[in-house]
Amino acid sequence: MSEIRATHTLALAPVIPPASTVDGFVQEFLNNLNFRQGVALSSSSQNDRYLALAQTVRDYLMARWLEDQRAQFERQSKGVCYLSAEYLLGRQLDNNLLASDLGGIAAEAMSVCGIDLDELRGLEVEPGLGNGGLGRLAACFVDSLATMSVPSIGYGIRYEYGIFRQTFVDGQQAEQPDQWLALGSPWEFPHPEAAQIVSFGGHTERYQDGDVERTRWIPAWNVQAVPYNYMVPGYHNGRVNTLRLWSAVATHAFDLRIFNSGDYAEAVRAQTFASNISKVLYPEDSTPQGKELRLQQQYFFVAASVSDFLDHHLADGFDLTKLPDRVIFQLNDTHPVIAVPELMRVLVDVRGLEWDAAWEITRGCFAYTCHTLLPEALEEWSVDLLGRLLPRHLEIIYRINEEFLAEVRETYGDDELRIRNMSIIAEHPERAIRMAYLATVAGAKVNGVAELHSQLLRDKVLPDFAAFFPGKFTNVTNGVTPRRFLRLANPGLSSLITEAVGPGWETDLDRLQGLEAYADDAGFRTAFAEVKAQNKVRLRHELLARDGLVVGEDHLMDVMVKRLHEYKRQMLKVLHIVSLYEGIASGRVAAAEVTPRTFIFGAKAAPGYAMAKRIIHLINAVGSVINDDPRVEGRLKVLFPPNYNVTLAERVIPAADLSEQISLAGKEASGTGNMKFALNGALTIGTDDGANVEIRRLVGDENFFLFGMTEPEVEALWSTGYRPGEFYQADEDLRRALDLIASGAFSGGDRSTFEPVVSNLLYDDRFMVLADFAEYIRAQREVDAAYADQDAWNRAAILNVARCGFFSSDRSMRDYINGIWHTPPAL
């Protein structure tokens, strides 16, 4: 009997009655403390208490969870399998208390026990199983799917170590392992009985099966994929969906014979080898590293997920030709694309379907989301490596490509250039599989993540495919969950919104439109400003306690938080800051004349990305000089709290006045931080890039600080030959700022420390920082002027909130459902 059917009887008789009163909650909590943690309240540690509290909340959700698993199984209607190598979840306790509406009861119950709930909340180490935007998007999407009661399951990898913990040593990034499991993870449920075997290596052979020739794969080694289930509770709807993350273990624990002979390391070799697969998240963002282990990770989790779905979620005797009516596998970028040949392999080699029938099914079961525009970020796997690790899959990819190119020939004749350009196999510099092409050929739909991105994807990245597959390409603009990023992160603003527009906006974010009318209400503006001020105080306390950093009082909070990438142009922000400082330091500008600003950075650099790490070093160096220079009179502060993560985002974003979204036009696929800031009433200074375009259109030009070249202007400048030195020569402010960095002013007089950063800008500047500098400074002056009129600023901020309901991830989910998935109405 399958695992899900086995839960049926349990679901009918929940073992643990939901603790929905304060007394009940206290009782459950103490039970958990005593009998699960094995300690008395009086002798319990904070960690014991956190775990017992988490278990209490978990138990409350359990009956619903089991019931929903059963209901999803029994319904057998079309559902979504979201395949993502990353889920950047953020803290679970907060979110689960909010979703289950237990926050009030839990707080009271804890105070009955003499415990401060907020302290316990603070203990949780967030599961950082993602790098940045892509992973956080997946987390927002599963939240929305649960809240909208859409039958769905998220599949991914349970990394033992998530994104590294960042520290600064002399201002330079150092990476520490993220031991998020060290104190126990109360939110996960291992299911070793539902483990899948995932195979690698070996060779293939043909054999006769009656009249038909078939292929079988004889793998060389395999590992076990053990699923860990995580609850994904919907918001106040009593639904609980499942996130299923796979952990790798050896098929044989260890070799007792070798162990007894005394070679302990050799005895556990297989175990170590296998568990390496899910050991650590690759900390690269946007530039794939062609690492064998990464390909192993990708195949590992999708092979386990596809089998899991086929084995456990389909009714007995399911007719596989109907699979596209039963499931859609949504590919979160190319990381899970190896699922395409895997499904083909299972259908043809294991289930015995004809190739053509299997291909028909497969093409109906996948859809692909692209998250990038950088050509170097389009994943390719060398044929050599893929053939060694997955020989059967390589054969399948070859055949898919052959048949696809034959179709291309039918349409265009022997246009060899076109055929080479469209081939799934690249020939140079080495033979490699273009995973984005494979996903595009196989996917029923291909989408970008913001309007501009989807258009550039069609016109610039995959134009031949867009022409060949009319109707396949579409857009779904990203969104963010208002539960975590508004309701949870900004309780003050949330109350204000509820007072103004009534309850229910958390699941119907278009209702924020009701705030429009309040923008002209002076009383509301005052209350709104008061909330922002309180959020700044909260942030002030947090950064002081967390990092010993001092936020300026009554400062404009100017925030740039996101991965460190040259294309995102943290350097442009640095040049602005240095330029302001240079004015004061040179005596040309009186400190009293500058708008008091605290600049907050948050950014991790991929450990192997040298330039990004230099920029982090520079930001810290600039901060220590400016923050300590008495001539500045404390009017400029540059703060860079280390280890920016979801938890810190929840504190920083609600306190921000100005949101920095300053990527070079045509490089940022969407951005999602930009949406979070606008929803929390920060004004954006930004380029015409990614979802900024849509934010600006919605909030209105007058409530957005636009600057910089447009994407066509960027293209035009490139094609005529971009010479950054000319911009340096032509702009005195720019020259002074760059010269100050080059002089060693931020490196104790040592001119060599930041020389690579300066030369890179002067002689290369791929992301055209210098070309956009003057415009950026102009826009920042507009910010200063606008901020001087607080009342007008608050009005604009309120309008940002009122007009950003579109950016709820619930709307993104509706767009996927209507345009791509075609799943039936919710459960």
Question: Using CB under 6 A as the criterion, which residues of the chain lie in contact with ligand NBX when the complex forms?
Answer: 131-134, 137, 284-286, 288, 371-372, 377, 449, 478, 668-672, 690
Could you confirm whether 672 is annotated as catalytic? yes
3-state secondary structure of 223: strand
Q: Which is nearer to ligand NBX, 404 or 806 (CB)?
A: 806
Q: Which residue is nearest to ligand NBX (CB)?
A: 133
Q: How far apart are CA 737 and CA 773, in angstroms?
A: 11
563, 569, 576, 614: the active-site residue: 563
Give the separation between CA 277 and CA 655, rounded to whole angstroms. Answer: 40
What is the C-alpha separation between 493 and 512, in angstroms, rounded? 12
The secondary element (H helix, E strand) that includes residue 638 is strand 636-639
Per the CB < 8 A criterion, the answer to whether 73 and 153 are in contact is no
Closest CB to ligand NBX among residues 377, 769: 377
Smallest gap from residue 730 Cβ to ligand NBX (A): 31
Q: Tell me the closest approach of the beta carbon of residue 131 to ligand NBX, in angstroms.
A: 4
Judging by DSSP bridges, how do beta strands 366-369 and 446-448 pair with one another? parallel
**Element (DSSP H or E) covering residue 362:** helix 355-365
823 is catalytic: no
CB of 668 to ligand NBX, least distance (A): 5
Partners of residue 153 on adjacent β-strands: 81, 242
- Alpha carbon distance 370, 669 (integer Å): 9
Q: Which residue has the tokens 């923050």?
A: 627
Instruction: Measure the CA–CA gap between 621 and 535, rounded to whole angstroms.
Output: 27
From the CB of 609, what's the least distance to ligand NBX, in Å? 12
Question: How many residues does this entry show for the chain?
Answer: 827
As measured in angstroms, the least distance from the Cβ of 162 to ligand NBX is 13
Residue type, position 677, single letter: F
604 belongs to the catalytic site: no
Q: Tokens 């989408």 appear where?
A: 447
If DSSP states are collapsed to H, E and C, what string results for 242-298? EEEEEEEEECCCCCHHHHHCCCHHHHCHHHHHHHHHHCECCCCCCCCCCCHHHHHHH
Q: Are strands 327-332 and 79-83 parallel, antiparallel or unpaired?
A: parallel
Q: Which residues of 634-654 are buried (b: 16+ CB within 10 A; e: fewer)?
A: ebbbbbbbbbbbbbbbbbbbb
Residue 727 · residue 734 · CB < 8 Å: yes
Of the two residues 532 and 604, which places its CB atom closer to ligand NBX in the complex?
604
Catalytic residue among 335, 345, 371, 532: 371
- Residue closer to ligand NBX, measured from CB, 138 or 817: 138
Identify which of 717, 665, 659 has the alpha carbon closest to the alpha carbon of residue 690. Answer: 665
50 vs 246 by CB, closer to ligand NBX: 246
CB of 373 to ligand NBX, least distance (A): 9
The residue type found at 588 is R
Whole-angstrom distance, CA of residue 461 vs CA of residue 395: 26
Scanning 416-519, the segments in alpha helix (DSSP H) are 416-422, 435-442, 451-456, 463-468, 482, 491-501
- For the CB of residue 66, give the shortest distance to ligand NBX in the complex, in Å: 32
Query: How, if at all, do strands 597-602 and 683-686 pair?
Result: unpaired
Comparing CA positions, the residue from 783, 781, 758, 756 lying closest to residue 770 is 758
**Smallest gap, in angstroms, from Cβ of residue 87 to ligand NBX?**
12
Which residue of the set 49, 562, 651, 696 is catalytic? Answer: 562
Alpha helices (H) along 700-789: 711-719, 724-730, 732-742, 755-763, 769-788
Of 676, 696, 795, 803, catalytic: 676
122: which residues sit within 8 A by CB, 6+ positions away?
Answer: none
- Which residue among the candidates 49, 540, 568, 667 is catalytic per the annotation? 568
429 preceded by a cis bond (ω within 30 of 0): yes
At closest approach, how far in Å is the CB of 377 from ligand NBX? 6
Q: Is 493 buried (19+), middle (13-18) or exposed (0-12) by CB count in 10 A?
A: buried
Burial (Cβ within 10 Å: 0-12, 13-18, ≥19) of residue 683: buried
Catalytic residue of the set 147, 369, 372, 672? 672
CB of 641 to ligand NBX, least distance (A): 21
Catalytic residues, which ones?
371, 562-563, 568, 672, 676
